[in-house]
């Protein structure tokens, strides 16, 4: 049992003090879902290896009553395996499988594209000692200078917003991705949005985006866990002439979404 109901979590922060990493965000929600208090160890990219006593170069990592657990998925599995009497993050293996599908789709549809739209801001918002490393590692990853990657983002943002329709249509019918209550699927997805919110110096979604209700409810969970003052507003993107609509105003009536209610005569 976690000592005093507290689990230590190694955070990954930027200069605003907000958590950057989507995986740390998901882990924060997971720990609170399981009813634990979090003993947060702040820090940036520089010195992760030192902070974790040589155990890891990546975060999150937790220490649960002296036991180190690395990797956000391992942490979620550890929490469910060790504390099955507390609310489950993934009630059965199918939740893990479908969460992985949704998360992979979300990153391919939006998160990688948003990341490039804010990649120079990401570097500039990093802790001063991290900025050279972020520049070098992200330019290598994406194969271009950060200012080139970020340029022209105003033209790209509407299409990225439009691509999120599958998530909107699911959340029109379900209160949470977990059903009646949030589960690890919600936390993985909100973790990705909060990552973007930590660097999105201009809004990425329309003020009246149908996702807003779910995003706001996620942020309010666990005493406003997703409400750090260093985060940027996600909502307020304006329509752009000639660009795709930011979201579909009429619900999809294709066979995929429309229930067959029998012959219409």
Ligand X SMILES: N[C@@H](CCC(=O)N[C@@H](CS)C(=O)NCC(=O)O)C(=O)O
Site residues (CB under 6 A) for ligand X?
12, 21, 23, 45, 58-60, 71-73, 137
Our CB check for ligand X shows the closer of 72 and 200 to be: 72
Our CB check for ligand X shows the closer of 73 and 222 to be: 73
Our CB check for ligand X shows the closer of 14 and 109 to be: 14
Our CB check for ligand X shows the closer of 97 and 207 to be: 97
Q: How far is the CB of 83 from ligand X (least distance, A)?
A: 19
Q: How far is the CB of 21 from ligand X (least distance, A)?
A: 4
Our CB check for ligand X shows the closer of 57 and 213 to be: 57
Our CB check for ligand X shows the closer of 48 and 243 to be: 48
Q: Is 193 helix (H, G, I), strand (E, B) or coil?
A: helix
CB 89 within 8 A of CB 34: yes
Report the phi/psi class of residue 243: left, alpha or beta, with left for phi > 0 and alpha for psi in -120 to 50: beta
Q: What's the CA gap between 209 and 127, in Å, rounded? A: 32
Q: How far is the CB of 23 from ligand X (least distance, A)?
A: 4
Alpha helices in the chain (DSSP H): 22-33, 48-51, 72-82, 93-106, 112-117, 119-125, 131-142, 146-150, 153-162, 165-173, 184-197, 212-224
What is the rounded radius of gyration, in angstroms, for the C-alpha atoms of the chain? 19
Q: How far is the CB of 90 from ligand X (least distance, A)?
A: 14
Return phi, psi of residue 235, to 5°.
-105, 140
Of 68, 38, 88, 114, which is closest to residue 59 (Cα–Cα)? 68
Q: What's the CA gap between 49 and 227, in Å, rounded? A: 28
Our CB check for ligand X shows the closer of 55 and 174 to be: 55
Q: How far is the CB of 155 from ligand X (least distance, A)?
A: 27
Q: How far is the CB of 73 from ligand X (least distance, A)?
A: 6
Looking at residue 43, the DSSP 8-state letter turns out to be: -
Residues 6+ positions from 148 with CB-CB distance below 8 Å? none
């Amino acid at each position: 049992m976690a000592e005093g109901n507290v689990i230590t979590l190694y955070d990954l922060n930027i200069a605003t003090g907000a958590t950057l990493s989507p995986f740390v965000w998901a882990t924060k929600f997971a720990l609170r879902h399981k009813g634990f208090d979090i003993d947060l160890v702040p820090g940036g990219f520089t010195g992760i290896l030192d902070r974790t006593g040589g155990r890891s170069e990546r975060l999150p990592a937790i220490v649960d009553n002296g036991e180190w657990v690395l990797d956000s998925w391992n942490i979620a599995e550890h929490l469910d395996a060790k504390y099955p009497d507390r609310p489950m993050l993934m009630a059965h293996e199918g939740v893990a499988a479908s969460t992985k599908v949704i998360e992979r789709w979300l990153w391919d549809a939006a998160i990688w594209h948003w990341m490039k739209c804010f990649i120079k801001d990401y570097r500039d918002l990093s802790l001063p000692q991290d900025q050279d490393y972020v520049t070098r590692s992200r330019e290598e990853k994406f194969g271009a200078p950060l200012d080139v990657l970020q340029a022209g983002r105003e033209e790209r943002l509407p299409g990225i917003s439009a691509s999120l329709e599958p998530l909107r249509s699911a959340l029109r019918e379900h209160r949470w991705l977990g059903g009646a209550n949030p589960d690890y699927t919600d936390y993985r997805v909100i973790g990705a949005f909060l990552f973007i919110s930590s660097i999105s110096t201009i809004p990425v979604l329309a003020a009246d985006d149908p996702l807003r209700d779910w995003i706001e409810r996620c942020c309010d969970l666990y005493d406003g866990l997703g409400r750090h003052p260093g985060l940027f507003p996600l909502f307020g993107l304006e329509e752009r002439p000639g660009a795709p609509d930011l979201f579909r105003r009429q619900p999809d009536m294709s066979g995929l979404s429309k229930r067959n209610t029998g012959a219409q005569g």
